[in-house]
Amino acid sequence: MKKQSQEGLTVKKSENFSEWYSQIIQKAEIVDLRLGTKGFIIIRPFGALAMENMYGIYEKELQRNGHKPVIMPSVIPESNLKKESSHVKGFTPEVFWLETDKDDEKLALRPTSETVFTPMFSYWIRSHKDLPLKLYQKGSVFRYDTKSTRPLIRGREFNWIEAHNAFATKEEAEAQVIEDIKMTETVMHGKFGIPFLAMKRPQWDKFAGAEYTIGSDVVMPDGKLIQQPSTHYMGQIFSRAFEATFTDKNEKEEYLYTTAYGPAISRILASVISTHGDDKGLVFPYCIAPLNLVIVPIYNKKNKEKVLKYIDKIENKLKLMELKFEVDGRDDYSPGWKFNEWELKGVPFRLEIGEREVKNKKLTLFIRDSGEKINISVSELKNLNKLGKEFDDRLLKNSEKLMRGRIVNCKTKKELEKAMKDGKIARVDWCSINEEGFGCAEKIEKDVLAEVRGTLANKKEKSKGKCIVCGKPAKEIVYIAKSY
C-alpha cells in the first residue's frame, strides 16, 4: 500500500509557493511533465475535466453575448503573418515554423489568429447588413517563448479561447472592449473566484498590431502578477492590411473596425490552483470541479455488503441530480488514505458512509474548504447544488480579501522597493504611459526588477503628484509589480 506521506505536499504554500505549486500540479494529477519537451506539458484527466468545465462556462457566456464558434486552421501562411508590419515584428521571434516542400509557402504554427480571421472577414462581410460579426474558436496556440517556462503559467503551447470581432464603427468596437472586460468579470471573477485588475497597458507593452490593449492582471501567492484574459482594440490596422472593407448605409466603402479577446483557459487554471489551494492540496470551485462529490465507503468484511447496498440507493438519487460524483470503491486503500487523496485533489464535498450512517439513515458530509463535517439526511442531498453555490461564494470572498491587501500606495522609490520585496502591487504617480514614459519604465525594470502594468481601464484615477522616477508632473496613476 502507498504511504500518504509520500503522496502529500511537503511544503507550505505561504513558505515556498514555487515548490508548493510544482508539487501540487503533479501530485494532484493535473499535469505530467515527464515527456521532457520544454514548454509543452501533458494535461491529465483531472486537469482536462476542470478545463472542459471552464471552457463550457466561458463559451456559454460568449454565445450569450452574440459570439458564434468557428474552427480555424492551426497554421498560418507566412505571407499572411507579414501583412501587418508591427504584428509580424512582435511575433516573428516567437513563431514555430513548419518544414514545407521547396516550392510551397512557409507555414507558421499560429501564435494568434488575427491574420487568419481578418482575411476571412474580407470574404464574409460585404455590407453593413453583415455586421457586427462576432466569432470565437478554442484550441492551442504556439509561441517559442525564450523565457523560463512554468507549467500552465508560462509555456510554448497554451489552451485558450480567442474571439475576433468586426464592426462598422469605432464606437461599436470600443463597446466590445468594455463587454470583454465585463465577461472576464462575470466568468473568471464571478464564477471561478479570481479577482483581477483591468489594466490599460502602456504603449510599449501593447499587443503587436493593436491600438491599445487591456490586460486582466491576477496576483499570485508570491506577489507576482499573471496576465489573464486580454482584449485588444485593433481599430482599422488589420482591416487595412488585408483590404477588409464593407459598404456602409451610404453605399460608401469603409474599412472594418476589429477587436480580439483571449482567455487562456490553461493559464486561468493556474490561477484557480494557486488562489484557492491550501496546504492540503487543491480546492476546486464547485462550478468547475472535475468531481463535485466523492463517496468513500467505510466497511469491513462483515458489513461490506450492507454498506454498499445503502450506497447504491444513494447513487440512484445522485444520478437524478446535475452533479458529478464518484464512488471510491478501491479495496487496497484505507478510508483515511482516500480522505487525504481526495482533499489533495480538491473535491468540494465528500460523503463518508459506514455502518453508523446505514443504521441512523444519515450521511456524513465533509466540506473541503472549511474542513467541517456535518450530518445530513438522505433527503438533504437535494441541497448539494445550493451548498456548492455557497462553497464558491466563500472562495470568492476569501480571494477578494487577499487582493485588497496586496495594493499599496508608494510615493518614493524606497517605498516602491519595499513594496516589491514584500510581494505587493504598487500604486504610483507616473509621467505618461505613452512612449515618453518608456525611459522611466526601463529604469524601474532595471533597478527594481518590476514592470509598469498600466492604468486602471474601468476607473479614471487622477494624479496630483510627480512621477516617482523622473519627478515631472504626473499624468497617470499606474500600477507596478513583478510578473510571470
- The tens digit of pLDDT for each residue in 267-320 reads 999 999 999 999 999 999 999 999 999 999 999 999 999 999 999 999 999 999
pLDDT score, position 164: 98
pLDDT score, position 70: 98
User: What's the burial of 468, exposed, middle or buried (CB within 10 Å: 0-12/13-18/19+)?
Assistant: buried
Contacts of residue 127, defined as CB under 8 A and 6 or more positions apart, other chains included, come to 246, 247, 248
Grid cell 498590431 in the structure block, residue: 209
Q: How confident is the model at residue 149 (pLDDT cuts 50, 70, 90)?
A: confident
Question: In the chain, where does the domain assigned CATH 3.30.110.30 lie?
Answer: 407-481
Instruction: Compute the radius of gyration of the chain from its Cα atoms.
Output: 25
Mean pLDDT of 1-16: 74
DSSP secondary structure of 326-379: EE---TTS-HHHHHHHHHHTT-SEEEEE-HHHHHHTEEEEEETTT--EEEEEGG
pLDDT score, position 141: 94
Q: How confident is the model at residue 2 (pLDDT cuts 50, 70, 90)?
A: very low
State whether CATH 3.30.70.120 applies to domain 407-481. no
Contacts of residue 267, defined as CB under 8 A and 6 or more positions apart, other chains included, come to 152, 153, 158, 160, 226, 228
Question: In the chain, where does the domain assigned CATH 3.30.930.10 lie?
Answer: 4-276
Q: How confident is the model at residue 6 (pLDDT cuts 50, 70, 90)?
A: very low
Which top CATH class is 293-402? alpha beta
CATH number of this structure's domain 4-276: 3.30.930.10
d(C-alpha 315, C-alpha 319), whole Å: 6
206-223 pLDDT, tens per residue? Answer: 999 999 999 999 999 999
Pick 93 or 249 by higher pLDDT: 249
Burial 197-220 (b: 16+ CB within 10 A, else e): bbbbbbbebbbbbbbbbbbbbbbb
Grid cell 514555430 in the structure block, residue: 96
What is the three-state SS of 256-276? CEEEEEECCHHHHHHHHHHHH
Is residue 5 pLDDT above 50, yes or no? no
Q: What is the mean pLDDT of the chain?
A: 94
